[in-house]
Structure 1
């Protein structure tokens, strides 16, 4: 199996300017890409959460700008599952190190991924206890349906209805599976959006982070689940929906 490239660049890191860190966001780019793919999303997170540490690692495999999170390009379905699990374990070790470095825990941590990066983020948050309190998962082809739901984590699936690379039905299946497992999960689908970090989905991701009460809090208060699935046209997800103030991830 190929090893991680020795030429892997150091992660990009943005630190709070005027305050101690309050949140940690780890953003994972898609396959054959690099952190610049996520700069619009980074800008939105930074505006909403000015006290956040934002880290953008490069995928460990590949040379040049097109990097991958898994050790094999274009694997078959069976191999893909194991490769994503390996990548998630490696990511978790890095996330734990960044948490220690900045004095933050899992509740203050969000994993954010696009495409292949989202597959790795999903595997990490579901398989590794208390790694992150939130996960934002954009437009991905998931490796496999989750076997367990994170007991203390909230997952937000964000997808384009017109995505031909990672069909939206896969996101529906993951949402349904996590609901069966009594996980805390939301699904937002934007019509006329393809395999893209569309501005509408970015805006909706920030809304979810700022306003979505974790399911465990609803259960504590009301004794009933809140299974959230929303479908919009991309124009419906307008900037006017944004909450004016930032909140913590939990």
Structure 2
């Protein structure tokens, strides 16, 4: 269980939460790690994974539990709220923890780094992006629900260039749609394969259509990699030329 050194945060650690074992009953071929939102828990996101598992019978689904307590559930950053300063400080604190946690979970299953997929929600989406883009071996895909990276968070030239998919509510008042678009365009400018799906009428959360789309993305990335870049018209996708 990776922990942080010093500064009163020695007890901060990411824990392996609830999971869905590979339905094939054999050794898993893929690992999908889900990172819950602020004030949530691993149980909430593993319930969503029930939608994905039937199409990915060779994948283990694992919900990670954030290291810091919140008023309800857990949170990924030690500070409260979504100010730029809190997000950047939180990423600086928690990114090394998640990176080590992912290494540990992959090693336990004897899986290579590119057999990993990250699905994050809100703060968890921010952390999935920040860590996934820096890993030496890129994950197969990063899916971010309601997440973005502040302009002040330097990602430089990413060591990894995994496919990234943003799924975002148009009425998100916590992480505005404009922040997602800015992050998406920033990653595209760095050469990453990035797509986004905007959900009309949705605030800071996820809906059925977004979850269904995420399942399709996971299946394409993990089971049918040659088709991962195919375009599917859901009617809500951003199409940039």
Alignment counterpart, residue 193 of structure 2, candidates 172, 181, 184: 184
Change (3 A) 1:229 1:120: farther
Change (3 A) 1:175 1:150: farther
Change (3 A) 1:100 1:184: same
8 Å Cα contact 1:96/1:131 also seen in 2: no
State the 1:155 CA deviation. Answer: 0.9
Match of 2:3 in 1: none
Alignment counterpart, residue 90 of structure 2, candidates 83, 92, 95: 83
Change (3 A) 1:117 1:8: closer
> Residue 232 of structure 1 aligns to a residue in which SS?
coil
> Residue 75 of structure 2 aligns to a residue in which SS?
coil
Alpha-carbon distance in structure 2 between the residues aligned to 1:94 and 1:35: 15
8 Å Cα contact 1:4/1:61 also seen in 2: no
> Residue 74 of structure 2 aligns to a residue in which SS?
coil
Alpha-carbon distance in structure 1 between the residues aligned to 2:165 and 2:55: 17
Q: Report how many aligned residue pairs link the two structures.
A: 225
Structure in which a larger fraction of residues adopt helix: 1
1:159 matched to 2:168? The reply is yes
State the 1:14 CA deviation. Answer: 2.1
Alignment counterpart, residue 232 of structure 1, candidates 219, 229, 235: 235
Change (3 A) 1:148 1:85: farther
- Counting only pairs closer than 5 Å after superposition, residues 133-212 of structure 1 correspond to structure 2 as 133-144=140-151, 146-149=155-158, 151-211=160-220
Structure 1 stretches lacking a partner, 5+ long:
219-225, 235-250
Match of 1:71 in 2: 78
1:13 matched to 2:16? The reply is no
Alpha-carbon distance in structure 2 between the residues aligned to 1:116 and 1:109: 19
CA offsets, 1:139-196, max 9 Å, x none? 1243446433454411111111121111111111111111110111111112122211
Structure 2 stretches lacking a partner, 5+ long:
1-6
CA offsets, 1:178-215, max 9 Å, x none? 111011111111212221121110111112223369xx
